[in-house]
Amino acid sequence: MAEYTNDQLFEIEEGKKESLDTSVYENPDFLAIQMRRIRIAMAAGLEVTPYVKPEYDWMQMEEIFTGLENGVDVTCFADPSIPYEKMHQVRKGLEHGIDISGDIKYSAGVLMQLRKSKEEKIDISKYIEQGYDPEQLYQIRLAINHHVDPDQYIETDFRGAAIAEIRQGLEEDIDVTTYADIKYGWRQMREIRFGLESRLDISIYANPYYDWEQMREIRLGLAEGLDVSKYSTFMYTSNEMRKRRIQLSEGAADVSVSSEDYDLNITSGGIEAYIAMKKEGEKINRDSLIASLAENNVSHGLIEETIQKLADGKYDKKPMPIARGSIPKKGEDGRYEFFFNTEIDRKKPKILEDGSVDYQNTDWFPVVKEGDVLAVYHDAKEGDDGFAVDGTVIKGKKGIEQELLKGSGFILSEDKHTYTAEMDGMVELKGSILTVMKHLEVQEVTLATGNINFDGSVHVKGNIENGAVVKATGDIVVDGNVGGAEIVSDGKIMLNRGMNAGRRGKVKAGKGGVVSKFFESVIVLSDGDIEVTNSVNSILRAKGWIKSTKSIIGGKAFSSKGYKISHAGNEAGTATLIQTGVDQEIVDRIGELNDKMKENSKQLMLLANSQKELQLKYPPEVRNTLPLFLKVDNAIFTINKQQDEIKKEIELLNLQIMYSREAPITIDGVAHEGVVCILGKSRWEAAGERGVTLKATGGASVNVIK
């Protein structure tokens, strides 16, 4: 057995301990990492014997065995002549019910784009036949998925990054013909696109003889409303342009001039001039003074009062204003005029005198009809010119243009000024993102009307009865009563009259959260906050805050961020559990990631040992050309990169855990007996306290702040 390495011997011994037929992989030609993978697959009961051949390298075996584990037909790619990268794409496709083994002639990168396109149910075959590379195909895929047609603007000579600029322009409905030209590099295309998005006059710099950095300096100057003609010439490098742009932005520096009779100081970018005479009381010939000032570039905006004082000898040595030009005025900035209430999402429901919340009279979202004008853009205005004391005209800055609104569900007019609803739906503005989402309005949902599963927002004006199901990708608003139904939303759920589920109902919302008048015997799950006036005997679980304006009585509540509650429990002592802490999903995910890191570490150790063996066995000029050595080297790089990504994800999850451990429970009113608060490992039982805030100490006790 001397021909085996220690790692190989270990894998053989481990297999025997597991009562496996180790003769299947007792071959010194197998790397230890291959033996390990074969052993694990055999222990899982997989029939791997047909693929345990020295012709397969470790990474090919990994793809075949993973395919076997996932129940796919590996015979269509289990061929030693097929590189593992191609095997990987075929296997991933088969796991999604897609067979691309017939296209194995293409590169792994093209296969990946083909596989993903088939998963997305789009057709990119014609682009593959035309010879587009993987980077280009990726951008074409994105374009098709985003419902834009790039065909008339792209060609195989464009890099993927250039096609990306064309795609983004099409998505934002700007005129890409101004830059979809092979004469521009992708960075130049980007600068032109940025200018179009900002409503700038790109004709000033859309010239291929400018490099992209020169284009950027001109674009930034236009965005500031500067007179870029002062530096937009090919004779200046981008660094020189930048210096001149900053000078124009900051204005001219002060200038001091000294003559035999006076000191002259020109300030405020040449707009003001001050004179200080060196002698007192002498009468100055006004014509000589005016001529002398003109020689020192002070000829406009002369102040007659000062000149007369000098002519009369009525002055001292203190500086006096001798000339004053006109300050240029900046034009009005561009602005949007909206024809729907853009503040609705920020409105809070009205708090009534009894502490309850009036949901009925709160507008949750504006609804528009197809063809409704949503917004009109008003262009920035030119500024008013001023002048300096030397007569130079100082161009007034034009107002700053606003960027084009992005989003979906609207039509932008040809002049890029009017936004019109493309469909009936709910309209929403978040920053510069304008969205019209499909909107379904129904009177009620019953077993007779049938369930709802809608791609958009849903507004139920009446009731939802027991057994009904309402699902939506957008928000769900219910004006009436809700019984033992199931309501699921990727966005926000708002129940204006509340829900009495009789232990048969469930509410599940995305990061938009849940807002309800009351819950009774309901299971409520939210990736965001849960806000409720009253909750009775319900199970509340939120990744955000749980807030109650009146009380939480009975049931169980779990929040990752904390609680703001008016009252907890009741005078009858109903058992009520209120808990903060770490979400179990996060804990489970960290466990999965740690297990993956351990397995990766083991694989890295085996690969590193194999790498050393090859380094000892072959001189550099030989081993560096060996396919096996190159594959081992590539595998080490790939796994190390994966380890870095796993570490970053674990760091983010641990940060969430840290915040969860600090989550407080605030009860402004009474915490009745029967209420138990658990904060991590800490436990606190209420005894009728009023106005408390609880925080975990890290031990078994709770820090109570009154």
Convert the pLDDT of each residue in 173-184 to its tens digit.
899 999 999 999
- Please tell me the predicted confidence (pLDDT) of residue 625: 77
| Amino acid code (one letter) for 228 | V
- Please tell me the predicted confidence (pLDDT) of residue 346: 43
| Cα 79 to Cα 540: distance, rounded to the nearest angstrom | 53
Which residue among 508, 523, 543 closes a domain? 543
| Cα 458 to Cα 452: distance, rounded to the nearest angstrom | 9
pLDDT at 93 over 60: yes
Residue 276 lies in a domain: yes
For residue 57, give Cα distances in angstroms to 14, 64, 84, 156, 549: 21, 11, 9, 35, 64
| 292: containing domain | 255-324
Residue 44 lies in a domain: yes
Residue 146 lies in a domain: yes
Note whether 288 and 358 are same-domain residues.
no
pLDDT at 634 over 60: yes
Burial class (CB within 10 angstroms; exposed 0-12, middle 13-18, buried 19+) of 286: middle
CB 536 within 8 A of CB 555: yes
Residue 250 lies in a domain: no
At residue 623 the predicted structure's pLDDT band, cuts being 50, 70 and 90, is confident
Greater confidence, 281 or 329?
Answer: 329
- Please tell me the predicted confidence (pLDDT) of residue 419: 96
**Mean per-residue pLDDT over the chain, rounded:** 90
| Digit-coded pLDDT (tens) for 312-355 | 999 888 999 999 999 999 999 999 999 998 876 544 555 555 55
Long-range contacts of 452-457 (CB under 8 A, 24+ apart): 456/425, 456/426, 457/365, 457/425, 457/426, 457/491
| Cα 663 to Cα 703: distance, rounded to the nearest angstrom | 12
What percent of the residues of the chain are helix, what percent strand, and what percent coil, each to the nearest 5?
A: 35, 25, 40
Burial class (CB within 10 angstroms; exposed 0-12, middle 13-18, buried 19+) of 686: buried
CB 178 within 8 A of CB 202: yes
CB 135 within 8 A of CB 123: no
Which residue among 270, 302, 324 closes a domain? 324
Note whether 107 and 139 are same-domain residues.
yes
- Please tell me the predicted confidence (pLDDT) of residue 124: 96
Backbone angles phi, psi at 297, to 5 degrees: 65, 35
Note whether 341 and 474 are same-domain residues.
no
- Please tell me the predicted confidence (pLDDT) of residue 347: 42
pLDDT at 376 over 70: yes
> Average pLDDT in the 425-438 region?
89
Note whether 162 and 140 are same-domain residues.
yes
What's the sign of the alpha-carbon dihedral 588, 591, 597, 600? Answer: negative
Residue 176 lies in a domain: yes
- Please tell me the predicted confidence (pLDDT) of residue 357: 53
- Cα 541 versus chain centre, distance: 26
- Please tell me the predicted confidence (pLDDT) of residue 2: 52
Note whether 265 and 147 are same-domain residues.
no
Per-residue buried b or exposed e for 501-521, using 16+ beta carbons within 10 Å of the residue's own CB: beeebbbbbbebbbbbbbbbb
Note whether 487 and 415 are same-domain residues.
no
Note whether 397 and 311 are same-domain residues.
no
> Average pLDDT in the 11-18 region?
93
| Digit-coded pLDDT (tens) for 641-665 | 999 999 999 999 888 888 777 889 9
pLDDT at 172 over 50: yes
pTM equals: 0.72
Give the strand order in the sheet containing 255-258: 255-258, 262-267, 272-277, 320-324
Q: Which of 530-534, 580-584, 619-623 has the highest mean pLDDT?
A: 530-534
At residue 537 the predicted structure's pLDDT band, cuts being 50, 70 and 90, is very high
Note whether 49 and 174 are same-domain residues.
yes
User: Within 10 A of 120 (CB to CB), how many other CB atoms are there?
Assistant: 12
User: Within 10 A of 701 (CB to CB), how many other CB atoms are there?
Assistant: 13
Q: Please report, rounded to a whole number, the percentage of residues in the chain having pLDDT higher than 90.
A: 69
| Cα 580 to Cα 120: distance, rounded to the nearest angstrom | 40
Number of domains in the chain: 5
